[in-house]
Homo-oligomer: A and B are copies of this chain.
């Protein structure tokens, strides 16, 4: 009952004891979830057409557990067997990265196609056969043996340039997604993955705590995770981000550098620290679900920041394809700038929700 009145932004304020048993319980639960998702994935044929939907859900669930285990090992590492947890973490990061890539390419293509339609004045989503609307295509794309869905943009409302840009992005991102899918399947069949699964199975039965852990207090470690987040946010240009239309995100939009915008990196870092903070709160307050909605809003703004940043890069990369038509390049330029403005909008949204956080916890 008391957990309903927690201040989720301030782990130190948690009433009562937060025993190390909560840590072990959380890790066991995540490990069990991991193994269950793995079983489902195998039973649904690892992405074969018949169980594509469940298989894809299972892969996402695997990744979700892997991220939580990895983050928890990091935040509470003084309470866990050091050698064991330090060897497991990079393996979980590898797994989570490999499993996430297919979905990321799918989502990026959806985002860019949706933007192209919006920029072409198409009201809402294009009116296409159900089999080719972006979300359905994404689902279909997750099937393993099925060939990639053919692009079918609604060319009636698109200029030639926008239609060609859409087709080019579809080709490039579908190819990347297909490769990512194969890589994920290969990873899940590898001995490297089996070693990870064995380690997670250990975690499901007995969490390797240090001898002093059972009497330790989790809250200082969770508070340290919160401090790292707060410090990183302090380093962000929040004053600028809070002034709408500051035009910061498109600076260097035409610079000769082809690397991702360096100005995005601190925001990506805060996104990771916010996630670690959220996982630490889950460990401390297993009943407090969902976590503070404003914390979720801040996290969603940073996800949107990351997605728009990567979509903008994909549009810029597509524009460097040799021998494209000027109209295609023009459309990709508009699309790139549009997504960089989404980046700016996401920073504004983060600033707004963070400001509310700051007020509510002061």
Interface residues of A, Cβ cutoff 8 Å to B? 116, 118-121, 157-159, 161-162, 244-245, 247, 250-256, 319, 324-338, 341, 344-345, 348
A78, B113: Cα distance in complex, Å: 56
Nearest residue, chain B, Cβ from A118: B251
Residue pair B345, A245 in contact (C-beta under 8 Å): yes
Interface residue from B162, B319, B337, B345 paired with A337 (Cβ < 8 Å): B337
B residues less than 8 Å from A161 (CB atoms):
254
B residues less than 8 Å from A119 (CB atoms):
250-255
Residue pair A254, B334 in contact (C-beta under 8 Å): yes
A119, B340: Cα distance in complex, Å: 11
Nearest residue, chain B, Cβ from A337: B337
A332, B327: Cα distance in complex, Å: 10
Number of copies of chain A assembled together:
2
* Closest chain B CB from A38 CB (angstroms): 41
A195, B134: Cα distance in complex, Å: 64
| Nearest 6 interchain pairs by C-beta | A333-B333, A337-B337, A244-B244, A245-B345, A326-B329, A121-B252
Given contacts A121-B252, A348-B244, contact A330 B319 (CB under 8 A): yes
**22 cross-chain CB contacts under 8 A:** A116-B254, A118-B251, A119-B251, A119-B254, A120-B252, A120-B255, A121-B255, A159-B255, A161-B254, A162-B254, A244-B244, A245-B348, A247-B338, A247-B345, A250-B341, A254-B331, A319-B330, A329-B333, A333-B337, A334-B334, A336-B337, A341-B341
B residues less than 8 Å from A251 (CB atoms):
118-119, 121
B residues less than 8 Å from A344 (CB atoms):
245
B residues less than 8 Å from A345 (CB atoms):
244-245, 247
* Closest chain B CB from A315 CB (angstroms): 9
A332, B329: Cα distance in complex, Å: 9
A328, B330: Cα distance in complex, Å: 8
Q: A250-B341, A336-B337 are in contact. List 16 more A-B contacts (CB 8 A).
A: A116-B254, A118-B251, A119-B253, A121-B252, A157-B255, A158-B254, A159-B254, A161-B254, A245-B344, A250-B338, A326-B328, A329-B330, A330-B332, A332-B333, A333-B334, A333-B337
Nearest residue, chain B, Cβ from A160: B256
* Closest chain B CB from A313 CB (angstroms): 13
B residues less than 8 Å from A327 (CB atoms):
319, 329
* Closest chain B CB from A192 CB (angstroms): 41
B residues less than 8 Å from A324 (CB atoms):
326
Residue pair B159, A253 in contact (C-beta under 8 Å): no
Residue pair B337, A334 in contact (C-beta under 8 Å): yes
B residues less than 8 Å from A120 (CB atoms):
252, 254-256
B residues less than 8 Å from A319 (CB atoms):
326-327, 330
Nearest residue, chain B, Cβ from A251: B121
Given contacts A330-B332, A331-B254, contact A245 B244 (CB under 8 A): yes
B residues less than 8 Å from A331 (CB atoms):
254, 333
Nearest residue, chain B, Cβ from A161: B254
* Closest chain B CB from A43 CB (angstroms): 43
B residues less than 8 Å from A334 (CB atoms):
250, 253-254, 333-334, 336-337
